[in-house]
Chains A and B, each alone.
Chain A
Amino acid sequence: MIEIEGITKRYGESTVVDDVSMVIEPRSITVIVGTSGSGKTTLLRMINRLVEPTSGAIRLDGADNRSLPGYELRRSIGYVIQGHGLFPHRTVAENIATVPLLLGWDDERIRARVEELMSLFQLDPGEFSGRYPHELSGGQQQRVGVARALAAGPNVLLMDEPFGALDPIIRNKAQEDLLAIQKRLGTTIVLVTHDMEEAVHMGDRIAVMDGGRLLQYDTPDRILAHPASTFVDTLVGASEKPFRLLSLGRVGDAVEEGPAEGEPIAADASQRDALAELLWSGRPALPVRNANGRLIGKVTVDGLVRRAACPA
């Protein structure tokens, strides 16, 4: 659990983060969104004390984050920086081994851990351990950056626009992979982005920032349904709201009884994808099959349209 309490950061006259308080639940993904310069990076960096706050306090699992020297604190928190920041003079394996090495793990344990992480991120150790960062594609560099941050098994992972530099297809894949890995490891993730789509897709909770202030901190559906201010409303994008709302739900939750014609859709696909498929194929309903391939009912245009309406 991360408790942020009245945290403020000033540079000279300007207040970059202004009296922000929020509680981040363990094992959840919290996404901080906001326009450029709204103080997202600064807020994130105060958690691992790369930036020292002007006032306020941050507690990690109850302990003030100032109770350790900064560098020791940072070894226990994963950090993925804007633009991955791999060390250009170190190989992939050496990059990933950075924190375990600082923690004084023995060679055998480090080697095993590096291999484990490389496999987890679909980087063949035989092929990639000896490569230098400039010999990797952008997507591979990004994965190495995340693997490096997770190397010492931190409970908390801070990520600053981790997918910013990726093309849409690779970004989607990277997001899915991260969700799967988060589920598996149970890491608490705080992720900064200025992409609302990403925020709605990834976040258990979303924190919206503007001008250093925390405007709203809530679950994605409540942010969509009840924006706290016109700014949040514009950030969400009025014309996108129904589709974002649908993207939060699974087809399995919208199943109605009865048969339907055509190729079935998977129950764990998003309702938004189902609506897109219905509209595109011009049909009123699609059959739904569950993970075992059994047909469990149908999903209809009418049903989805009802779900896309503001949940008052």
Chain B
Amino acid sequence: MGTRFDKLGAVIAAIAAYACLFAPFATFRANRIVPGEARSMLESLPPAAGWALMAIVTAAALVALLRTPLMLRLGASLAALVALAVLIGVAGSFLTPQDNTYARVSPAHGFWLLVFAFTLLLADVLTRLALSPWARMLTLAGAAACLGLLLASGSWDSLSILREYAGRADSFRAEGGKHLTLALGSLAAAAIVGLPLGILCHRVDALRAGVLNVLNVIQTIPSIALFGLLIAPLGWIAAHVPGAAALGIRGIGTAPAFLALFLYSLLPVVANTVVGLAGVPRAANDAARGMGMTGRQRLLRVELPLALPVILTGIRIVLVQNIGLATIAALIGGGGFGVFVFQGIGQMAMDLVLLGALPTVALAFAAAIVLDAVVELTSIRKSEVPS
């Protein structure tokens, strides 16, 4: 008997059952700051749509629970997720009274649990399908396109997050740009400085321990403390070094945020460069010298290509970490999606918090998938290192 059930499927079905029967699907508030009223799935949707969603979710949960073919599980998870995505929009317009611009409808935890459960199912299927790196990136692009389509179609416009967005479209775009500039810019700076530093550490034994220790210590300073620590010296520089202020260097704002992210990024880049270069087979290095390569040729043609997958793994860590950390930059006026998070916390408006948090999570997730795929593509060839 036990063998007919899927273990993960049982968890998914349990979550789905709880979310359908006992948890609220949507929350209705008369305006954006009053406490919300919970609405169940059937209360949130027109009767036909409500029962249809109930049926789809039940069927998908059953598919998950039983041992079913992979393709069926894939179809079930996609159907459930698409139905949830479309119908939460319908719930928004269904619950909002006509011409009422103050009322707010937002997804409640029942909805989020369902999304979580079927994303889990989808992730499990994708893992078991063992997609190639290119297929994974294509899947990601497909998912992004679907999301873009849903947003552009306006079917979510009546949801509270998009209501918050509607009033802030311009600043959303600006802060998004700043967020990316902070995360990617500090990564680029860290790569430009960290790669040569890592190569130097690899070649000069005396330097290695010292540099890595200093970077390790920096890594342990809590981010808020590091932002704070940088305010005083940067403020001093702005006041005393001619031209610094003109360059945008100030005690608060983008400069300290950028610098802090840069400092955090250095350790993974340098450490992975050192580890990657140390992992180059001795025989390959020896052969390179024996064939008459100069130090530079050996570095560019043998050492770096062989260390690349490890170095890229470091870059992946940094990118995902920076996309998350850049949120904190808003605390010292550095901008980014964090602006909405902290405004939202200040105004007790959770929808505004989500407006900042969701794109951050999505970006980090996408960055992780893309870089994992790139790492795999670069390391395919040396699946085994000759002795």
Identify the closest chain A residue to B387 (Cβ): A83
Q: List the A side residues contacting B213 at CB < 8 Å.
A: none
Q: List the B side residues contacting A73 at CB < 8 Å.
A: 292
State in angstroms the CA–CA spacing of A79 and B293 once bound together. Answer: 13
Q: For B386, give its contact among A72, A79, A82, A86 (CB under 8 Å).
A: A86
Is A74 a contact partner of B290 (Cβ separation < 8 A)?
Answer: yes
Q: How far is the CB of A224 from chain B (nearest CB, A)?
A: 33
Identify the closest chain A residue to B384 (Cβ): A134
Q: List the A side residues contacting B292 at CB < 8 Å.
A: 71-76, 99, 102
Q: List the B side residues contacting A132 at CB < 8 Å.
A: 381-382
Is B382 a contact partner of A85 (Cβ separation < 8 A)?
Answer: no
Residues of A100-142 whose CB lies within 8 A of B: 102, 132-134, 141
Q: A71-B294, A133-B386, A134-B382 are in contact. Are A87 and B289 (CB under 8 A)?
A: no
Q: How far is the CB of A136 from chain B (nearest CB, A)?
A: 9
Interface 9-residue window, one of B39-47, B196-204, B280-288, B317-325: B280-288
Is B283 a contact partner of A89 (Cβ separation < 8 A)?
Answer: no
Say whether B130 faces chain A, with CB atoms less than 8 Å apart: no
Say whether A37 faces chain B, with CB atoms less than 8 Å apart: no
The interface on chain A, measured as residues whose beta carbon lies within 8 A of the other chain's beta carbons, has a size of 27
State in angstroms the CA–CA spacing of A85 and B292 once bound together. Answer: 14
State in angstroms the CA–CA spacing of A87 and B385 once bound together. Answer: 9
Is A85 a contact partner of B383 (Cβ separation < 8 A)?
Answer: no
The interface on chain B, measured as residues whose beta carbon lies within 8 A of the other chain's beta carbons, has a size of 23
Q: List the A side residues contacting B291 at CB < 8 Å.
A: 74-75, 79, 98-99, 102, 148
State in angstroms the CA–CA spacing of A141 and B284 once bound together. Answer: 13
Q: List the A side residues contacting B384 at CB < 8 Å.
A: 88, 134
Is A81 a contact partner of B293 (Cβ separation < 8 A)?
Answer: no
Q: List the B side residues contacting A134 at CB < 8 Å.
A: 382-386
Q: List the A side residues contacting B383 at CB < 8 Å.
A: 134
Identify the closest chain A residue to B378 (Cβ): A89
Say whether A205 faces chain B, with CB atoms less than 8 Å apart: no
Is A88 a contact partner of B382 (Cβ separation < 8 A)?
Answer: yes
State in angstroms the CA–CA spacing of A71 and B305 once bound together. Answer: 21
Q: How far is the CB of B278 from chain A (nearest CB, A)?
A: 16
Q: A81-B283, A102-B297 are in contact. Are A88 and B290 (CB under 8 A)?
A: no
Q: How far is the CB of B387 from chain A (nearest CB, A)?
A: 5
Give the A-B contact count at a CB cut-off of 8 A.
75
Say whether B302 faces chain A, with CB atoms less than 8 Å apart: yes
CB-CB contacts of A246-287 with B at 8 A, as 1s and 0s? 000000000000000000000000000000000000000000
Is A87 a contact partner of B290 (Cβ separation < 8 A)?
Answer: no
Say whether A188 faces chain B, with CB atoms less than 8 Å apart: no
Say whether A310 faces chain B, with CB atoms less than 8 Å apart: no
Interface residues of B, dominant DSSP: helix
Q: For B289, give its contact among A50, A72, A133 (CB under 8 Å).
A: A50
Say whether A193 faces chain B, with CB atoms less than 8 Å apart: no
Q: List the A side residues contacting B289 at CB < 8 Å.
A: 50, 71, 74
Identify the closest chain A residue to B285 (Cβ): A85
Q: List the A side residues contacting B287 at CB < 8 Å.
A: 79, 81, 85-87
Q: For B284, give its contact among A71, A75, A85, A102 (CB under 8 Å).
A: A85
State in angstroms the CA–CA spacing of A129 and B366 once bound together. Answer: 37
Q: List the A side residues contacting B387 at CB < 8 Å.
A: 83, 165
Say whether A244 faces chain B, with CB atoms less than 8 Å apart: no
Say whether A84 faces chain B, with CB atoms less than 8 Å apart: yes
State in angstroms the CA–CA spacing of A72 and B293 once bound together. Answer: 8
Is A87 a contact partner of B288 (Cβ separation < 8 A)?
Answer: yes
Say whether B306 faces chain A, with CB atoms less than 8 Å apart: yes
Q: For A79, give its contact among B284, B290, B297, B382 (CB under 8 Å).
A: B290
Is A71 a contact partner of B290 (Cβ separation < 8 A)?
Answer: no
State in angstroms the CA–CA spacing of A81 and B292 once bound together. Answer: 13
Is B283 a contact partner of A84 (Cβ separation < 8 A)?
Answer: yes
Q: List the B side residues contacting A88 at CB < 8 Å.
A: 281, 284, 306, 381-382, 384-386
State in angstroms the CA–CA spacing of A148 and B286 once bound together. Answer: 14
Q: A133-B386, A141-B386 are in contact. Are A83 and B283 (CB under 8 A)?
A: yes
State in angstroms the CA–CA spacing of A75 and B290 once bound together. Answer: 8
State in angstroms the CA–CA spacing of A50 and B297 once bound together. Answer: 16
Say whether A48 faces chain B, with CB atoms less than 8 Å apart: yes
Q: How far is the CB of B305 from chain A (nearest CB, A)?
A: 5
Q: Which of A74, A86, A87 has the largest number of chain B CB atoms within 10 A?
A: A87
State in angstroms the CA–CA spacing of A71 and B288 once bound together. Answer: 10
State in angstroms the CA–CA spacing of A141 and B283 once bound together. Answer: 13
Q: A102-B292, A134-B382 are in contact. Are A81 and B306 (CB under 8 A)?
A: no
CB-CB contacts of A53-94 with B at 8 A, as 1s and 0s? 000000000000000000111111001011111111100000
Q: List the A side residues contacting B302 at CB < 8 Å.
A: 87, 89
Q: How far is the CB of B285 from chain A (nearest CB, A)?
A: 8
State in angstroms the CA–CA spacing of A98 and B302 once bound together. Answer: 11
Identify the closest chain B residue to A158 (Cβ): B290
Identify the closest chain B residue to A132 (Cβ): B381
Q: List the A side residues contacting B290 at CB < 8 Å.
A: 48, 50, 74, 79, 81, 85
Is A81 a contact partner of B286 (Cβ separation < 8 A)?
Answer: yes
State in angstroms the CA–CA spacing of A217 and B183 once bound together. Answer: 67
Q: List the A side residues contacting B281 at CB < 8 Å.
A: 85, 88
Is B293 a contact partner of A89 (Cβ separation < 8 A)?
Answer: no
State in angstroms the CA–CA spacing of A83 and B284 once bound together. Answer: 10
State in angstroms the CA–CA spacing of A71 and B306 once bound together. Answer: 21
Q: How far is the CB of A99 from chain B (nearest CB, A)?
A: 5
Q: How far is the CB of B9 from chain A (nearest CB, A)?
A: 39
Q: List the A side residues contacting B382 at CB < 8 Å.
A: 88-89, 132, 134
Is A85 a contact partner of B381 (Cβ separation < 8 A)?
Answer: no
Q: For B293, give its contact among A48, A82, A102 (CB under 8 Å).
A: A102
Identify the closest chain A residue to B386 (Cβ): A133
**Sample of 5 more A-B contacts, CB < 8 Å, known A88-B385, A134-B384:** A83-B386, A84-B283, A88-B306, A99-B292, A165-B387
The 10 listed contacts between A and B (C-beta, < 8 Å) are: A74-B290, A75-B292, A76-B292, A81-B290, A83-B386, A84-B386, A87-B302, A88-B281, A88-B381, A89-B302
Chain A residues engaging chain B, CB cutoff 8 angstroms: 48, 50, 71-76, 79, 81-89, 98-99, 102, 132-134, 141, 148, 165
For the complex of A and B, the 6 pairs showing the least CB-CB separation, nearest first, are A85-B287, A75-B292, A74-B292, A85-B283, A79-B290, A134-B384
